[in-house]
Amino acid sequence: MAEGAVDEREPGAPFPKGQPDPELIKLKRSRPKIGLVTAAGLLFLCGLFLVRLNPDRKFGGSGEAERVAITDVLAGNVALDRFIRIDGAEPLMSHAIRTTTAKGSLGLRVVPVRGSGNRLWIAMSGDGWDAPAQGVYVGRLRKLADMPFSKSLVDYVAEHPRPVFATAASVRAAFSTGKLQSVSGDAITLADSDRIAFDVVDTNATVIVGTINERFPTPQAWQTALAGAGIATSGTPRATADTVRFDVATDPALSTKLEAASLWAARIEPVTHHYETTWSELRGSSPAGFVVKGTTIPDAQADLIGLYVERSIPSDAYAVITGERPDDYWYVLPISIALIGVGLVFAWALVRAIKRDLMTPQVPTAQA
């Protein structure tokens, strides 16, 4: 009697060529495991990027520009990363600082606003062909310290004192306190080493400038014409290829004499004298006037006085970035949604890893 067709093989015996092992066919791949450190690290990165994108996400969700006052911004009553509009701001364009974060870029012109004490700045395009703002500035409100160029801006302001101007009365009133208010409305604290400079118009001297032309081709021709008009000159004329200058005594009738002689190619210029000193020397002036290197200048002759004061930028300063619009940040919301989705996946993986690696009891292996 023939034996049954069942082929009994010894365990581990090889199968003939072309005949697969049925046990191997039934094997399943083990599920990939995400480690505890990997899950926690990726979850942390997702949270970090969401936090860093939050200001851009808030600004991207803004609607129309909100009209705010400068006083409200300086008082901290306007939230950061808002799309705002400031009317009537007066940037001190003479104090503009150009900054850039990339080579070959026009960068930005960062300008302090008049009367803000360096606490409000307008960051506008460095392209001179842009349309003028004309007192209306629209953009994103940010902390100046959060801008990538803040450090270079602070260093430049500290290393390059810029002139501020004050009236003679304000300067004299500051002799006892060391503090004055500039014509721009800023409160200034002076140090003894600060440089002071001002120009004074000479009330006793005037310059007549004559244009060299076919009628008066030489300085001598001009001098003869001025003498014929009853105008006495002094000193040696200073001539160039186009003009000649004559020093004359101040006379209220100079314009009348030039018109009567039909000297239409002549103009009258005042004579100014430039004085420089330091605050420690100027504050010792007498009541008769400002004393500079032994010369006394009456207060009435000093129109404006320039003070080269080192002024720092406060840590709570604000900046309005006029080139930014909410529509420019349309991509921030989709990226945030993607980060939330990835974060949820790895949060679930972190929970599974904790249960698997930390909470599941380990079966001890048998010792030989």
Q: What CATH number is given to the structural domain containing 136?
A: 2.40.50
Structural domain harbouring 155 = 66-160+315-328
- Domain identity same for 228 and 252: yes
Cα 144 from Cα 154, distance rounded (Å): 10
Q: Per-residue pLDDT for 1 more than 50? A: no
Give me the mean pLDDT over the 298-309 stretch. 86
What percentage of the chain reaches a pLDDT higher than 90? 40
- Does residue 177 lie within any of the structural domains? no
Residue 3's contacts (CB-CB under 8 Å, 6 or more residues apart) are none
Residue 294's contacts (CB-CB under 8 Å, 6 or more residues apart) are none
- Does residue 215 lie within any of the structural domains? yes
Give me the mean pLDDT over the 318-331 stretch. 91
Number of Cβ within 10 Å of residue 202's Cβ equals 13
Stated as kind and residue range, the H or E segment containing 284 is none
Cα 206 from Cα 204, distance rounded (Å): 7
Instruction: Kindly calculate the radius of gyration of the chain based on its CA atoms and give it in whole angstroms.
Output: 40
Of 303, 249, 309, the residue nearest 117 (C-alpha): 309
Of 269, 278, 262, 261, the residue nearest 244 (C-alpha): 269
The top-scoring range by mean pLDDT among 113-122, 191-200, 209-218 is 209-218
Q: What CATH number is given to the structural domain containing 275?
A: 3.30.70
Q: What's the pLDDT score for residue 2? A: 47
Task: Give the type of residue at 40.
Answer: A
Per the structure, the count of domains in the chain is: 3
Q: Higher model confidence: residue 337 or residue 190? A: 337
Local confidence band at 319 (pLDDT 50, 70, 90 cut-offs): very high
Q: What's the pLDDT score for residue 214? A: 92
- Helix (H) and strand (E) counts in the chain: 9, 17
- Does residue 91 lie within any of the structural domains? yes
Sheet strands (E) in 89-173: 97-99, 108-112, 120-125, 136-143, 162-167
- Domain identity same for 262 and 245: yes
- Does residue 281 lie within any of the structural domains? yes
Q: Taking the model in full, what pTM does it have?
A: 0.67
- Domain identity same for 275 and 291: yes
- Domain identity same for 201 and 233: yes
- Domain identity same for 73 and 153: yes
Q: Which residue intervals of 229-278 are DSSP H helices?
A: 254-260
- Domain identity same for 221 and 124: no
pLDDT, tens digit (0-9, with 9 covering 90-100), for 150-176? 888 888 888 888 888 899 999 999 998
Cα 27 from Cα 45, distance rounded (Å): 37
pLDDT, tens digit (0-9, with 9 covering 90-100), for 52-93? 999 999 999 888 999 999 999 999 999 999 999 998 888 888
- Domain identity same for 50 and 137: no
Local confidence band at 362 (pLDDT 50, 70, 90 cut-offs): low
- Domain identity same for 216 and 293: yes
Task: Of 4-18, 187-201, 229-243, give the lowest mean pLDDT range.
Answer: 4-18
In DSSP terms, which residues pair with 211 in a beta bridge?
Answer: 243
